[in-house]
Amino acid sequence: MAEVTPPAWMQAGSYPARNDRLGAISAGLCYPGFLADESTPLRIRQGVKPSYQNYQLKVRAAATPNMTVIVSAGFCWIDNHDVGGYGAYTCVNDADKILTIAPAGGAGQYRKDAVVASVYDAETSGSANEWRLEVIQGAYAASAGAAVLPTLPNNAQILASVTVNPSVTSITAGNITDSRNYSVAAGGILPTTLNTYPNRPHPGQTMYLVDGDLFVYGKSDGTVVPLALGSGAFAFARKSADTSRASTVTMSADPHLSVPVATFATYTVDAYLIYSGGTTGDVNVALSAPTSADGSWSAVGYGRDVPANVATGGHTIRMNPNSIVSVQPRSYGADTVDETLHLRGILRTAGTAGSLVVQWAQAASDTTATIMRTDSWLRIQRCA
């Protein structure tokens, strides 16, 4: 192929529907897969139109569960994958659509079905000219873990997967996994997740990771980096209320002291913790980070009476570096008056984004609560 001519909407011109798809839809929505763009279909990908609460084309169980699912009204765009450069189709559903799930198999038969929006265009393949909301049945497997999604039609957008266990007679919300991609016009902010954002987004394409509460953008080399946490930028969390914990040595996340971190990044870490408690309970503190992260921290604070690392002749305690990976707590003393803990460290993330979190509990179970105070804070600065 060379020039796609005549151009769309030329006076006295005659052209196929493909030209409208390329001009009216694909030019603003996606890259249509020309060699000039590395032969890749849709880098601002096909998908469902985002909306308030992302309800468009959402798959849900029937009000009284049975062997059907309901697909809500909505818009989606689906690229033609039969032939490169044939553009994207606009598909509209204007009311709830009920789809039937095939009966379950017997004992030892597990299945995973796919609910999809599919386009069929006889110009490029087959004889049908329509789009459908449909269920593609998966193959049976001997266990739930072995069940896999079926092969989808060539021009299809998956909306949800449906788990069908042996002998079930109704599909509930717990059987349905939302699998929708979302799409926006070029330049729009794309809602997505860490595991589903598109490969090699166009330079400057901004995306919001709903599972990480983080904005990221595409670079000219095809990589994705955080928008809010570029090199030198800060992320900051402050406690807006006291948190009390009594009679527990179980470490858990502070409800306020958490900051998002990106993949393959390096951060310096600072924290200023204000706390009080009984002289028996004291406090244990640790940092936790996403899977495969590495780093260390140490802190200066009020020494406990029990451990051997109390500084001689005073309350100041200086710890050797403590690993973030192990989430191993270090103990500090508490008193009925407020004490402070000054923490510094470094964090290096790998391929998993998430959050750096302050974890804490009592060092020894005590009915007198240990209290992490308002205005304690955690801060990170990205340096690489």
DSSP output for 277-339: --TTT-EEEEEE-STT-EEEEEEEEEPPSSSTTPPTTSSEEEPPPEETTTT--EEE---SS-E
> Tokens for 105?
């198999």
Picking from 200, 185, 195, 197, the residue whose alpha carbon sits closest to that of residue 29 is: 185
Rg for the chain, CA atoms, rounded: 27
Residue 135 and residue 196: Cα distance in Å, rounded?
Answer: 22
Q: How many CB atoms lie within 10 A of CB 42?
A: 22
Q: What is the pLDDT of residues 298-341, one digit of tens each?
A: 888 887 655 444 433 334 444 566 777 667 788 888 888 999 99
Task: Please check the confidence at residue 94 and state whether its pLDDT lies above 80.
Answer: yes
Average pLDDT over residues 35-61: 71
Residue 54 and residue 47: Cα distance in Å, rounded?
Answer: 12
For the chain, which domains are there?
Answer: 17-34+42-182 (no CATH), 187-227 (no CATH), 234-382 (2.60.120)
Tell me if residue 175 falls in helix, strand or coil: helix
Percent of the chain exceeding pLDDT 70 equals 80
> Residue 251 — very low, low, confident or very high, per pLDDT cuts 50/70/90?
very high
Picking from 132, 130, 136, 21, the residue whose alpha carbon sits closest to that of residue 84 is: 21
Average pLDDT over residues 210-220: 74
**For the whole prediction, is pTM greater than 0.85?**
no
Picking from 287, 260, 261, 288, the residue whose alpha carbon sits closest to that of residue 273 is: 287
Please check whether residue 258 is in contact with residue 358, taking contact to mean a CB–CB distance below 8 angstroms.
yes
User: Where is 28: in which H helix or E strand?
Assistant: helix 27-29
Please tell me the predicted confidence (pLDDT) of residue 383. Answer: 86
Residues 6+ apart with CB under 8 A from 210: 191, 192, 193
